[in-house]
Amino acid sequence: MKVTYAKAIGDALKEEMRRDSKILLFGEDVAEFGNIFGITRGMLEEFGPKRIRNTPITETAIIGSAIGAAETGLRPVAELMYTDFTTVCFAEIFHCVAKWRYMHGPEYKLPLVIRAASGSSNGAGSEHSNCVESLFMHAPGLTIITPSCAYDAKGLLKSAIRSDNPVLFCEPKLLYQSKQEVDEAEYESDYTIPIGLADVKREGTDVTLVAVGLMVPRALEAAEKLAAEGISVEVIDPRTIAPLDKDTIFASIRKTHRAAIVEESNKTSGIGAEFAAMFQEELYDELDGPVARIAALDVPMPYNIPMEHYSIPDVERICATIRGMF
């Protein structure tokens, strides 16, 4: 069967809410309207207004309410619509959500998931098209997840909801309508994917390409093209940015001796910057050349759609960068 990324998110939410009555979902337009992408459509009718709630347009209050709900033993899923809006409630996420479990001792739990649509979206403009993972990588205590396909999105969201740690769950907007062929019996089972476990999406021998979110399918397409040129690319999807599965990534680099990172967010101080520094510090003797970073241009995301497409990495930019490593 084929499943869209958006349906997988919705299926995970419904399955978890049926399993545990302590789970509730709230955010802007999630109830009657069913979320601006239709992901929560029908959930108000099934779970009722106490568990599916619209909120005012005030992200600070959304996260503050979610913190309070989690502290009382509930398991809230707070939707912020776009990841861009995490900056409106940055203090609540950076200081409270990320730090409080550490600050208050081993008995304290904060089972809170913050969901938001991430990245470019064909003309949404610079205030609705950002990736924020690298901002929150600087917030120890916060789990950061960015799935790249429907199967992973469902399994990781279920794990996030069941976690006693706070999770920022980023959903690339351009993947919502992408379809993936999945095994029907496995998909409909109560499967989860462990947090902090990377996935080797394609094996290779010449270069390790770590791809994040929307860039994973583009990396796989690039790897297919490069294979025809005699370059074997191993594509790794970290899935969880924090905590990071260094073992899987490092094992690949020790095999290929070359590394590149492709991400949708800006290049300066991005995910790739941190990963490249990590590879240089811990795997210097394994590398046969510099770590390559492929990322969005350091510009506010253009409203003009052709300019937007030019600003973020495409298959040809990935291919050109990898070719340049040889």
Closest among 150, 145, 189, 139 to 163, alpha carbons compared: 145
CB atoms closer than 10 angstroms to residue 89:
22
β-bridge partners, 296: 266
From the list 16, 128, 133, 274, the catalytic residue is 128
Closest among 68, 99, 79 to 28, alpha carbons compared: 79
- Structure token pair of residue 68: 């309070």
DSSP string, 26-78: EETT-SSS--TTSTTTTHHHHH-TTTEEE--S-HHHHHHHHHHHHHTT-EEEE
d(CA 181, CA 112): 30
Q: Which alpha helices (H) appear in the chain, and where do they start and end?
A: 5-19, 43-47, 59-71, 90-91, 100-103, 133-136, 150-162, 184-187, 215-227, 246-256, 271-283, 305-311, 315-323
Q: Is 59 a catalytic residue?
A: yes
Q: How many residues does the chain have?
A: 326
d(CA 44, CA 17): 12
Residue indicated by tokens 């020790």:
254
β-bridge partners, 172: 118
From the list 16, 28, 59, 79, the catalytic residue is 59
Type of residue numbered 142: L
Q: What is the pairing mode between strands 179-181 and 2-4?
A: antiparallel
Residues with catalytic function: 59, 128
